[in-house]
Amino acid sequence: MDKLMIISSDGHATARMRDYTPYLDPEFREEFGAFCDVYEEKGTHTFDEKALSGRLDPYLVDEWRENVIDAGRLEGNYDPAKRLIELDREGVAGEVLFPDFGLPFELYSPILAAQLGEPPLDDAHVNASNAAFNRWLAEFIGHAPDRLVGMANVSFTDVDRAIAEIRWAKDAGFAGIMLPTFTDELPLWSPVYDPIWSTLEDLGLVLNSHVAISATTNRWVAPKFPPPHPACYGPLFVAQTEFFCRQVLDHMIWGGVLERHPKLQLILTEQGSGWIPGKLEGMDYSYDGSYLRRDIRNAIKHKPSEYFARQCHIGSSLLTRREVEIRDRIGVDKMMVGVDYPHHEGTWNGGTMDYLQATLGANRVGVDDARKMLGGNAAAVFGFDAAKLAPTVERIGPTAERILTPPTQDLFPRGDVHKPLGGANVG
């Protein structure tokens, strides 16, 4: 097979809000109906015009409306048949699906909700929302189980309930779960959660962290005093969101979770990958070269980079040219590309083939490295059957020449292609 297999490690799917109704526990349905009335008036989604107009130039919003919304390309967010059309169009054989903003009882994204002073949902509504989304997503991926795998949304506030939902997710065909947010009182390294980590190990499910979904804190802080321009909210708060998501790696390693659970596999998705080499070098120096107490080795028995090598993977998603350039330092065996459908900044908005040429091709990546980063790593981590994907790859997959030939012009003068290492992902 001379075509290249592409598996997107980062895609999102959500139902149209009222379509969650049959998946909700009956006791919540009447209340949810009233919520939907409010959502239709006030609610926002990351890809609608109202949300995008706050951070994009008007001409980009106009292009989005014309080329994406009016063209019906967002229908793949909730329609699995349309989703497969979008994947085929982008040459993507398989996709890992995450939740997105727009879950039951969720009027705004967490950051926007904090800005507007909206109170968070209580545990009962969070659990009801997660369960409804998971059951909807199970049907969605069931339309193409060889091409789509799901990440289940699970709250950890009730450990027994979380374990039951994790076992349900395994039976329903999910490949893993989402890491939620945590509190100062019960950080993720608390022994309270050890039964959850053990369950994931026993079932062979991965633990996936994703920016704006997973964090070491559940406090979304947004000052009431407005910045000098509405567009400033992105640079101000995205960096904060990324920090608390990236801090998951510190908590998992220094908190001893990866030591106590050596089979647990952690994926770091859509939080960049250029920060990884420096982060691991710094953590290793703390372990080996600093004045840190030597008896730390009684609890943390390996260098942080060794835990990373054994148990961590990177859903690099919107790979930048600079990240591809230092791929050997980041770890070619760790990196997995992502299309990030249906978000505006995703590779599909402008063409995944051109995007890969602008990043992999521009760096003259060899075929062997490309096969790993494009799909081989993801197939191994998430359990895709490459043999079952082979006919799809042969039908829609790109040739190496198409995406590994250096481009003759700048295909993406704006966006993530030229983003420097360490730059916050403000889209």
Q: Are 315 and 324 in contact (CB under 8 A)?
A: no
Domain count of the fold of the chain: 1
pLDDT at site 373: 98
| Residue-number span of the structural domain to which 159 is assigned | 7-404
d(Cα 311, Cα 365) in Å, to the nearest integer? 25
In a domain, 425, yes or no: no
Cα 232 to Cα 12, 106, 164, 379: the distances in Å are: 25, 24, 42, 38
Query: Which band of pLDDT confidence, cut at 50, 70 and 90, is reported for residue 110?
Result: confident
In a domain, 66, yes or no: yes
Structural tokens at position 347: 């590779």
In a domain, 1, yes or no: no
In a domain, 205, yes or no: yes
In a domain, 419, yes or no: no
pLDDT digits (tens, 9 = 90+) for 11-58: 999 999 999 999 999 999 999 999 999 999 999 888 999 889 888 999
pTM score, two decimals? 0.96
pLDDT digits (tens, 9 = 90+) for 239-270: 888 999 999 999 999 999 999 999 999 999 99
In a domain, 247, yes or no: yes
Interval 105-120 mean pLDDT:
84
pLDDT at site 116: 80
pLDDT digits (tens, 9 = 90+) for 76-88: 999 999 999 999 9
In a domain, 424, yes or no: no
Interval 366-381 mean pLDDT:
98
Q: Is the model's pLDDT at 1 over the cut of 90?
A: no
Interval 288-313 mean pLDDT:
97
pLDDT at site 98: 97
Q: Positive or negative CA dihedral for 16, 53, 351, 214?
A: negative
What CATH number is associated with residue 151?
3.20.20.140
In a domain, 413, yes or no: no
pLDDT at site 427: 53
pLDDT digits (tens, 9 = 90+) for 185-240: 999 999 999 999 999 999 999 999 999 999 999 987 666 788 898 888 778 888 88
Task: Find where tokens 């003759």 sit.
Answer: 408
Chain centroid offset of residue 269 CA:
4
